[in-house]
Amino acid sequence: MKYKMIDGHNDTLLNYMDETSDFDFLKESDKGHLDLIRAKKSGFSGGFFAIFTPNPVSPPPISKFITEKGYHMPLPDPINSSYAQLHTNKVLANMLKLEKDSQQQFIIVRSEKEMRNCLNKDAVGGIIHMEGAEAIDLDFNSLYVYHQAGLRSLGPVWSRANDFGEGVPYHFPASPDTGPGLTEKGKQLIRLCNELGVMIDLSHMNEKGFWDTARLSTHPLVSTHSNAHKLCPITRNLTDKQLDAIKESNGVVGVTFCANMLRVDGRMDLSAPLEAITEHIHYIADRIGVDHIALGSDFDGCTIPDVIKDVTGVPKLLEQLLREGWTEADIAKLTHLNWLRVLKETGI
């Protein structure tokens, strides 16, 4: 059975920034995790397409820091705002061109209604998400410009520091309570996003930043691509208290497929079975309810188990959940209904 799905996070747009690549989202490929043709084959009707600015010099991989006790990867250096704006504008321009070239097969979504329309027709909807707010100036002029261009989701920090706060580093095993919370400008950013109807993504925030946002925001709390810290104690995953706060706000958690965020021992196990992902889905659903869980793959932004491989593997995951006792009504909430509700309640 083919389910329509909305996915909480992908980094597929970064493929356009690789000058050595001939990537074309509109053509089917056997590389990467996501393109238009594979999306349609899999029921992928929409998702949050991240605009992320990498560091000019790539930080070492996690594997460089692994010891017998785990790993403690330092935060990458902060990046310059002007550099981030140039990169962000280029990626955003590529996304706008992609929409134009797609002949209505790929649509930049600016409202819950537009996303719902994509579910009902043969098109893929893309919500513009900014992962790390370095491209936003401290007078917030660019926030209004990006919102007018279609920005509807924002992660104030990635896993590094900026003017708005400090992201959570990749440590295992460790608590997500790793550093200071939001700056005053960060708190102002939260309030402005609430006013504009821009969803705030907590995925890369440290715990103090999470609780600052929970106190300030009037919108549902959302973590687009995170799992349960209880099952895999990496700093990027959510504690039970954080999960409870997301439920209390009527928010949602997008479960990610990232291999290093699944296992209790933190291993990057590409042979992990579907149950490694469904275990997190069951845990979160049992803890806070099926109304507060969704999909947040992180396609093209992380290493995922071979059993999923790419977007075409998601239907296998849904079939596994049915075998494990989920109903079709549960699956509908997981795949799209919960995302639609949160978009609407955020004012999108």
pLDDT tens column, 186-214: 999 999 999 999 999 999 999 999 999 99
How far is the C-alpha of 323 from the C-alpha of 321, rounded, in Å?
5
Helix (H) or strand (E) holding 215: helix 207-216
Q: What is the DSSP string of 18-85?
A: -TT----TTS--SSSS--HHHHHHHTEEEEEEEEE---SSPPPPGGGG-BTTBEEPPPPPP--HHHHH
Residue 298: left (phi > 0), alpha (psi -120 to 50), or beta?
A: left
pLDDT tens digit sequence for 276-295: 999 999 999 999 999 999 99
Confidence of residue 6 (pLDDT cuts 50, 70, 90): very high
How far is the C-alpha of 52 from the C-alpha of 55, rounded, in Å?
10
Whether this model's pTM surpasses 0.95: yes
Would you say 209 and 189 are in contact if contact means Cβ atoms under 8 Å apart?
no
Strand partners, 199: 153
Q: What is the mean pLDDT of residues 47-65?
A: 92
Residue 244 sits in which domain range? 5-346
pLDDT tens digit sequence for 234-272: 999 999 999 999 999 999 999 999 999 999 999 999 999
Q: What's the confidence (pLDDT) of residue 20?
A: 76
Would you say 22 and 16 are in contact if contact means Cβ atoms under 8 Å apart?
no
Q: What is the mean pLDDT of residues 317-332?
A: 97
Confidence of residue 63 (pLDDT cuts 50, 70, 90): confident
Confidence of residue 112 (pLDDT cuts 50, 70, 90): very high
Q: What's the confidence (pLDDT) of residue 312?
A: 97
Would you say 184 and 192 are in contact if contact means Cβ atoms under 8 Å apart?
no
- Burial bucket for residue 291 (CB in 10 Å: 0-12, 13-18, 19+): middle
Q: What's the confidence (pLDDT) of residue 1?
A: 47
Would you say 136 and 159 are in contact if contact means Cβ atoms under 8 Å apart?
no
Q: What is the mean pLDDT of residues 221-239?
A: 98
Q: Which of 222, 204, 214 is nearest to 168 (CA)?
A: 204
Cα 166–chain centre separation: 17
CATH number of the domain enclosing 58 = 3.20.20.140
Q: What's the confidence (pLDDT) of residue 167?
A: 97
Residue with tokens 């999923």: 308
Would you say 182 and 164 are in contact if contact means Cβ atoms under 8 Å apart?
yes
Q: What is the mean pLDDT of the chain?
A: 96
